[in-house]
A = this chain, B = another copy of it.
């Protein structure tokens, strides 16, 4: 099983090798937990010696985090200009676009969804936070609202909701797409426009 000796020794530029390893390893980590995949298996999948993984990433864990970082980032594709529409409609179209993305390459995004493992300052938490923050700004931009810290915080809080709703829709099938769209649209509107009373 762990036959891995790469009979041919290919030499790549460091950057290229880094990327190649990450890509070769991604599928393994997308469907199996961190602990279930051994360094030997990772190395075999990438066609390199075990030592090389530590050489490039320091530890197995860091490679894992790196793979996750590039797996959970919301794809920034272009959204048609919505500036002429009223706010509610802009929000609706934006959420629809997100649902579309989720349905298409969503697999990874949602499975990685709940994301972040527990334990306080986990390294993964940091990565997921980055991604959520990124998604929040992307959404604000699409909706046409300013990149205000308060708004970002609010939209960031919504990221987990978007994922859980997508999961109910795509995985558990307890929601229809129409429902998901309605619920998310309304919620984003509330979070984006509700004034503080204090």
Instruction: Mark A126-139 against chain B: 1 for CB-CB distance below 8 A, else 0.
Output: 00100000000000
Q: Which of B30, B32, B35, B153 contacts A35 (CB 8 A)?
A: B35
CB neighbours (8 Å) of A82 from chain B are none
Q: How many copies does the complex hold?
A: 2
Interface pair B198/A176, CB less than 8 Å apart: yes
Residue-wise interface mask of A (104-126) relative to B, using a CB-CB cutoff of 8 A (1 in contact, 0 not): 00000001111111111010110
Count class of interface residues, chain A: 35 or more
Assess whether A149 is in contact with B174, with CB atoms less than 8 Å apart: yes
> Does A164 lie within 8 Å of B157, measured CB to CB?
yes
* Chain A facing B: main interface SS: helix
Beyond A34-B117, A190-B183, is A164–B159 a contact (Cβ under 8 Å)? yes
Asked if A117 contacts B176 (CB within 8 A), the reply is: no
Closest chain B CB from A58 CB (angstroms): 15
Report yes or no: B117 in contact with A117, Cβ–Cβ below 8 A: yes
**Which residues does A use to contact B, with CB under 8 Å?**
29-35, 61, 68, 111-120, 122, 124-125, 128, 149-150, 153-154, 156-161, 163-165, 167-168, 172, 174-176, 178-179, 182-183, 186-187, 190-191, 194, 196-198
